[in-house]
A and B are shown apart, each in its own frame.
Chain A
Amino acid sequence: MSLNKTDKERVKAFWSKVAGKADAIGAESLARLIVVYPQTKTYFAHWKDVSPNSPNVTKHGKTVMGGVANAVDKIDDLKGGLLELSELHAFTLRVDPANFKLLTHCILVVLAAQFPADFTPEVHVAMDKFLAAVARALAEKYR
Chain B
Amino acid sequence: MVVWSEQERSIINSIFASLDYDDIGPKALCRCLIVYPWTQRYFGGFGNLYNAEAIKTNPMIAAHGIKVLHGLDRAVKNMDNIKATYAELSVMHSEKLHIDPDNFKLLADCLTIVIAAKMGTAFTADIQAAFQKFLSVVVNALGRQYH
Q: Which residues of A contact B (CB under 8 A)?
A: 31-32, 35-36, 52, 105, 108-110, 112-114, 116, 119, 121-122, 124-125, 128
Contacts and interface: CB of A to CB of B under 8 A. Distances in A.
A18 to B, nearest CB: 14
Interface residues of B, number: 22
Most central of B30, B114, B116, B121 by chain A CB within 10 Å: B116
Contacts, number: 52
B113 interface: yes
A125 to B, nearest CB: 4
B67 to A, nearest CB: 20
Contact of B35 (A52, A113, A128): A128
Given A109-B112, A121-B30, A35 B117 contact: no
Most central of B116, B125, B128, B129 by chain A CB within 10 Å: B125
A112 B114 contact: yes
A125 B52 CA distance: 11
A109 B116 contact: yes
B91 interface: no
Contact of A113 (B56, B116, B129): B116
B125 A36 contact: yes
Nearest to A120: B52
B120 interface: yes
B121 to A, nearest CB: 6
B9 interface: no
Contacts of A110: 116
B63 interface: no
Interface of B: 30-31, 34-35, 52, 56, 109, 112-114, 116-121, 123, 125-126, 128-129, 132
A3 B35 CA distance: 13
Nearest to A32: B125
A117 to B, nearest CB: 9
8 contacts: A32-B125, A36-B132, A52-B125, A105-B109, A113-B116, A113-B120, A124-B34, A124-B113
B36 to A, nearest CB: 8
Given A52-B125, A109-B113, A113-B120, 19 more contacts: A31-B125, A32-B125, A32-B128, A35-B125, A36-B128, A36-B129, A109-B112, A110-B116, A112-B117, A113-B117, A113-B119, A113-B121, A119-B113, A119-B117, A121-B31, A122-B34, A122-B52, A124-B35, A128-B35
B66 to A, nearest CB: 17
